Each structure stands twice: as structure tokens, then as C-alpha cells.
Amino acid sequence: MADLLANTLVGFAKKSIDTSSLKFLKTMEKVTISAHISDKRKAEFFHTMESLKDLIKKSCKELEVEISDDNRLVIQIVFEDREDLKNNFDKNEFSILKGSVRSVCDDISIKIN
């Protein structure tokens, strides 16, 4: 009985998954922009975001914009994969977003994943 179980386990181990067939599995890429924004500049920033929001959402999987009580701005943009990030993050709408953040915020950081 033990030999039968051992042979079954060895046979199962030989039938490992061929990773080349898993190319459809993609790793999502998340860009996080965080910055400090003053109360005086919030309206200007949100006016710009309102005009860009629909364009940006067409080029990414997810878009979230939050401002905390202490004026910490966090923008999270999720792309399907690295290729999608490369193809879209330099589009005009993202350039305008990055420029807007640079002009109305300080203490800015941009992180990928």
C-alpha cells in the first residue's frame, strides 16, 4: 500500500504545471502618488481632476483620489500589467495630472507597486 501511495505521489509530482501556459496571468501595477496639499490649493487641484478623471479612467483599471484631514493627498492608479503602465503613464492626461500635483503640492513621492 505504501508503494502504491509513493508511486502515485511521484506521478503527481511529474505532472507539474507548465508555467509557459500561464502567460495569461498578469501582475497588476499600482502607481501611488502621495503629497501634501494646502487648503488654498485644493479647489484648483479638484477642478483639474474633475476635467481629467474620465480620460484617466479610460487608460487604467482603477483610479482613487483621497485627501486626509491633515491634507495628505494620495492618488492610486492601477494598471493591468507593466506593459499597460508603460503604454499609458506618459499619455497627456497623466502628464497633466503629474504637472498639477507638482504645481499645487509639496513633499511629493511617486511609487510603483
Average pLDDT, the chain: 84
4 alpha-carbon distance from chain centroid: 49
Mean pLDDT value across residues 78-107: 93
- Comparing CA positions, the residue from 29, 22, 25 lying closest to residue 84 is 29
Given 2.70.98.10, 3.30.70.100, 3.30.70.1900, 3.30.70.2190, which CATH number is that of 26-112?
Answer: 3.30.70.100
Q: Output 105 or 1, whichever has higher pLDDT.
A: 105
Mean pLDDT value across residues 52-71: 94
Query: In angstroms, rounded to a whole number, what is the distance separating the alpha carbons of residues 28 and 113?
Result: 9
Query: In angstroms, rounded to a whole number, what is the distance separating the alpha carbons of residues 31 and 7?
Result: 48
* Residue 1 confidence (pLDDT): 53
